[in-house]
Amino acid sequence: MNIGSVAVIAILGGCVGVHQSGLTAGPDTARLARAEMVGADGAAAGSASLFATGDALSLAIDVYGIPPGRHGLHLHASGRCDLPDFTTAGGHLNPGARQHGLDNPLGSHLGDLPNLVASAEGRASLVLPLGGSRSDTLAALLDADGSALMIHAGPDDGVSDPAGNAGPRIACGMLQAD
């Protein structure tokens, strides 16, 4: 196990516990997939891991080298992160063809994630639950063309279609099954 995996597992164990998600880390937690994040300049920017605990899925994110502040964070439909603008990742992962936004009164879609907040040093760590059934979510994330985790330059406003006015894509990671 490499140092990055240990760090992500430590984050998962330290953050998930008794938080709002109700997820717990323990011996039945398994990593299912990983994404190596890369910035628009091609530099390494951290990693993300998909974990399963029982029937629940969670995403643990640890990134660096991004501008301080709030950033839109989304799952995208294609597992490609071609430089410099990452447009090959396509639009948001939205298997239910729903409108965008965690604050949308009609509900959000699978690709909608909370904003990521980077410190003054450009680091951010977050563990969050993924909704939906485990089998449906895994099928969407790890289908034939994969999926990508995307960080945008600005915050997602939670309602605007198609991407919450979050601005350009500044970091991307292709989610790949372990």
The residues pairing with 46 across neighbouring beta strands, listed in sequence order, are: 37, 63
Query: Six-digit token pair at 7?
Result: 């760090």
- Whether 132 shows a pLDDT value over 60: the answer reads yes
Mean pLDDT over 116-133 rounds to: 94
Q: Provide the residue ranges of all domains of the chain, joining segments of one domain with +.
A: 3-177
The answer to whether 178 and 100 have CB atoms below 8 angstroms apart is no
pLDDT at 163: 65
Which H or E run contains 125?
Answer: strand 124-130
pLDDT tens by residue, 47-93: 999 999 988 999 999 999 999 999 999 999 999 999 999 999 998 88
User: Rounded to an integer, what is the distance from CA 70 to the centroid of its chain?
Assistant: 14
pLDDT at 12: 42
- Whether 17 shows a pLDDT value over 60: the answer reads no
Mean pLDDT over 40-52 rounds to: 97
How many residues can be counted in the chain? 178
pLDDT at 2: 39
What is the longest distance spanned by two Cα atoms in the chain?
43
The residues pairing with 112 across neighbouring beta strands, listed in sequence order, are: 74
**Cα–Cα distance measured from residue 88 to residue 163, given in angstroms and rounded to the nearest whole number:** 15
The Cα angle at residue 169 between residues 50 and 76, in degrees rounded to 5: 40
- Whether 5 shows a pLDDT value over 80: the answer reads no
At the top level of CATH, which class does the domain 3-177 belong to? mainly beta
Mean per-residue pLDDT of the chain? 82
Mean pLDDT over 133-153 rounds to: 92
